[in-house]
Amino acid sequence: MRHVGHDQSFRDWYGERWMNNPKAVQLERLAGQVAIVTLNRAAARNAVDDHITHALGAIVEEIEGDPNICAVVLRGAAGPAFCAGADLRIVNAGRLGDLFTDGGGFAGFTTALRRTPWIAAVDGFALAGGLEIVLACDFAIASTNARFGVPEVTRGIIASAGALYRLPRAIPTGTAMRMIATGEIIDANAALACGLVTDVVAPEALLNEALGVARAIARNAPLAVAESLALARKAAGVVDPPAQSASDEAQSRLEESEDRLEGTAAFLGKRPPVFTGR
């Protein structure tokens, strides 16, 4: 498996600019009963802020109420990242709760109850909460530029939006444990080899590939697809309230730790952290 060091990427791929975007998430309906949802903070590597959280949560509800949408492709706005995870400026300000909704969890998405199939089209980095968004989709297709990781431990925090129980169920246990404990990042080919994504294509072919699969889903009987996926998600443990509750409790225990404060401060200050285990 090819790994990409976390220091090379997690620090580098967060944007430097704060971006208050009233269209932080865009919904585009296409022919064939499919839709594209785009995370639209390219200047901030599509990092999740409160605008993305509430916009994406509202779009999930809108799609769930629309019988004319039978499959969704989720992507990041053009740039070097699908989603770089939580905006650490918000985390460092003690406003982590602003990135969650009651019904949808992180980004208004990771614990949302959905019947409509969602396909992640990953181009660039899907890190931390970005990977947790991918894991909350039904499956993912990647470009050759895609990179995946949960580097939270390098910042003194944990991946509290599902990765700690979804990743070991999605890929071989040892691979998941290594990614979680080291913060290492894997490339698209490694993600394909371990089953994290179903296909790897050239960047310019990614959207068409994902839309082709979405249209294939949409041609099937909607009720049959919805019921089938509901059972498959249950069998795979994608929806697991007890595991998510345990994750939330662990996050709360770490929230005021010295290491958490040091980790995010070091990240924002672009310096190595000095952890003390307190």
Q: State the catalytic residue, choosing from 132, 227, 255, 258.
A: 132
132 is catalytic: yes
Predicted local distance difference test score (pLDDT) of residue 243:
67
Which parts of the chain register pLDDT below 70? 1-22, 239-240, 243, 250-251, 254
Strands 147-149 and 3-4: unpaired
Bridge partner residues of 200 (DSSP): 142
In a 10 Å sphere around its CB, with 0-12 CB exposed, 13-18 middle and 19+ buried, how is residue 32 labelled? middle
- Residue 11, helix vs strand vs coil: coil
Burial class (CB in 10 A: 0-12, 13-18, 19+), 147: buried
Per the domain annotation, does 211 fall within a domain? no
Structure tokens at 253: 């225990």
Distance CA 2, CA 25 (A): 32
Each residue's pLDDT tens digit, 56-102? 999 999 999 999 999 999 999 987 899 999 998 887 787 888 999 99
Which one-letter DSSP state was computed for residue 237? T
* Residue 173: inside a domain: yes
CATH number at residue 102: 3.90.226.10
The conformation of residue 120, written as its DSSP 8-state character, comes to E
Distances, alpha carbon 216 to alpha carbons 8, 67, 71, 213, 272, in Å: 38, 16, 9, 5, 47
pLDDT digits 0-9 by tens, 187-215: 999 999 999 999 999 999 999 999 999 99
213 within a domain of the structure (yes/no): no
166 is a domain residue: yes
Q: What is the pTM of this model?
A: 0.86
So what's the pLDDT on residue 25? 96
Report the pLDDT value the prediction gives residue 78, as an integer from 0 to 100: 85
Confirm whether 212 is domain-assigned. no
The catalytic position among 152, 209, 249, 256 is 152
Do the domain assignments include residue 131?
A: yes
- Annotated active-site residue 184? The verdict is no
* Rounded-to-integer distance, Cα 26 and Cα 8, Å: 30
> Is 275 part of any domain?
no
What residues are paired with 160 via a beta bridge?
none
Count of structural domains within the chain: 1
Domain of residue 102: give its range.
3-203+222-269
Average pLDDT, the chain: 87
Decide if 210 is inside a domain.
Answer: no
Strands 118-122 and 3-4, bridge-based pairing: unpaired
What is residue 13's predicted lDDT score, i.e. its pLDDT? 37
